[in-house]
Amino acid sequence: MNRFPKSLALIAGLFSALGFAPLDWWPLTLACLAILLHLVFEAQDLRKALARGYWFGVGHFAVGLNWIAGAFQYQDTMPKWLGWIAVALLSLYLAIYPAMAAGLAWRWGRSKPAEFILFFAAAWIVTEYLRAAMFTGFAWNPLSVVVIPVAGVAQYFAPGIGTYGLSGLLVLVAGGLAHLVPGWIRRVKTSYHSVEGEWVTLVIWPFVAAFTGIFVFFSMGYVMGSPQESHGPLIRVVQPNIGQQDKHVKAFDKINFEKLAGLTGVPGREPRLILWPEAAVPDFLEEEEWARERLARLIGPRDMLVTGGVALVEDKEGYVIAARNSTFVLTPGADIIARYDKAHLVPYGEYLPMRPVLSALGLSRLVPGDLDFWPGPGPQSTGVPGFGRMGVQICYEIIFSGHVIDRNNRPDFLFNPSNDAWFGPWGPPQHLAQARLRAIEEGIPVVRSTPTGISAVIDADGNLLHHLPYRKAGFIETHLPPPHPPTLFARYGNILSLGFAFFLGALGIALGRFRR
């Protein structure tokens, strides 16, 4: 394993990403992570440890983010092959974070395997958190999302230590696998020259694992429950199967609207909250009264409609200078009673950083149009009469752990309108898995509506109650599942994840001093 360590780290990184959706081969991810731990521990110096972590990260992100290349298929002003260049460049940047984790673990824990594993887990938590925060953040595919298909694991731990803390636990598990690698076992045996040393190997490491488990047990927010029948308000989630290639073509406006209208259905005895996807309508609802009236005619006298659209930003002279990616709550009387503006925008997707420079090079943002989007103020809860308090996170925003709800005005459910039509067969299931993780962390149901899938209703335990497959038109009509009481994570957020990292690091230091 040590003859070609960087090549092996790259290959391990490539295969590790197969644990994410849609394949969900999570045992392979743990095995590849164990290989990384072994390679870094065996590094002769810090530079080699950093390099092994870096090349693992390059492979890990290149495969996991391959769906980004698909977005360039819908932007005529830039060549399609540029999408793969974007994947490569983004992977080369994101690989810095696994490299940092590898370097920190090698620097502080290289003397003994147990300390090294603890430091690596702590460093992974911190660097994954930093990846979600630095330079606007890119929190896609945290390591912990691979265990979403494993019943009970995320539900048991994420409400207490969050997404990044759960990622650290997976590193500990991978460390246990790496401890079984023959080369490592030989090194352990030669590291101790007394009966006391062998006793430490056999007893202290299980103690560390048990102590970690006890910490997590007392920090968790609740024990997972089974899906229960809901008697909440009636919702209708619409998925029209409108492809990205047809979304902004004027000739398709009428066809697209008829799809949405048909799937909205007819009013019944029970009031309905009708949920349409991100940017479902091309009209400017605040300025165009006829557009609001057209939508209002589709819903019953006690229904409410929530739809994605665009809000315009004007300067003092009345000139349009920007736009906002928004959702609107519309009444049967054609009144807009609430609007949420997306706060966490996608760089190069919804706005072009350093526009004068990059536009001169022939680059443009991926969303069509000449105006950049401006961000909104952040998570807000909106009271929807008859349906409770609704929080909204538009598309990409749902991936940011600890930043999806207003903690001072906790919503009853979270609506995640999205447009996954850009991202091929890999992006939508990955997006869905991350939405499930938010439901588990916060203890609230999440409802997703997308043009092409995967639309879903997710309960407060992260269970997938209903969903519409990718590339299939349809609707979901069901009662909204109830929220849980606030979890520990819902109260304190990522301070718990970082606290768990501090605990693991302190445990590593204490274990090293005990041995000396």
| pLDDT digits 0-9 by tens, 379-408 | 999 999 999 999 999 999 999 999 999 999
For helices 113-131 and 495-515, the axis angle rounded to 10 degrees is 160
Most confident of 155-164, 211-220, 240-249: 155-164
Rounded Cα distance between 231 and 466, Å, is 15
**Number of Cβ atoms within 10 Å of the Cβ of 270:** 12
Secondary structure element (H or E) that encloses residue 311, with its range: strand 304-314
- How far is the C-alpha of 188 from the C-alpha of 303, rounded, in Å? 67
The yes-or-no verdict on residue 86 having pLDDT over 70 is yes
- Answer whether residue 337 shows pLDDT above 70: yes
User: What pLDDT is recorded for position 217?
Assistant: 54
Q: Please say if the pLDDT value at position 107 is more than 80.
A: yes
Q: Comparing 34 with 111, which gets the higher pLDDT?
A: 34
N-to-C CA span, the chain: 30
Do the beta carbons of residue 421 and residue 248 sit within 8 Å?
no
pLDDT of 296 strictly over 80: yes
pLDDT of residue 124: 98
| pLDDT value of position 3 | 75
pTM flag (> 0.75): yes
For residue 341, pLDDT beyond 60: yes
pLDDT-wise least confident of 62-76, 100-114, 262-276: 62-76
Q: Pick the range with the lowest mean pLDDT from 90-94, 148-152, 290-294.
A: 148-152
pLDDT for 193 equals 44
Strand 446-449 and strand 388-392: the pairing is unpaired
Statement: residue 260 has pLDDT above 50: yes
Secondary structure tally for the chain: helices H, strands E: 17, 12
Contact in structure between 344 and 371 (CB atoms under 8 Å)? no
Encode pLDDT of 176-228 as tens digits.
Answer: 877 655 454 455 555 544 444 443 444 445 545 554 555 455 445 444 445 55
**Predicted local distance difference test score (pLDDT) of residue 318:** 86
Supply the pLDDT for residue 366: 52
pLDDT for 430 beyond 50: yes
234-239 and 474-479 beta bridge pairing: antiparallel
More confident residue, 297 or 82: 297
Look at residue 4 and tell me whether its pLDDT is greater than 60.
Answer: yes
Q: How confident is the model at residue 6 (pLDDT cuts 50, 70, 90)?
A: very high
Is the Cα torsion angle 61, 64, 68, 70 positive or negative in sign? positive
Q: What H or E segment, with its residue span, contains residue 121? A: helix 113-131
Average pLDDT, the chain: 86
pLDDT over threshold 70, residue 362: no
Q: 15 CB contacts (<8 Å, ≥6 apart)?
A: 28, 32, 59, 63
Instruction: State the pLDDT at residue 222.
Output: 44
Residue among 508, 492, 506, 513 nearest 159 (CA): 492
- Give the distance, in angstroms, between the CA of residue 368 and the centroid of all CA atoms in the same chain: 24
Alpha carbon distance 117, 109 (integer Å)? 8
| Percent helix / strand / coil, the chain, rounded to 5 | 50, 15, 35
3-class state of residue 374 by DSSP: coil
Q: Taking residues 482-508, report their average pLDDT.
A: 95
Lowest-confidence region among 154-158, 341-345, 370-374, 496-500? 370-374
What per-residue confidence (pLDDT) applies to 224? 46
Query: Mean per-residue pLDDT for 453-464?
Result: 96
Nearest to 475 by CA among 453, 495, 501, 496: 453
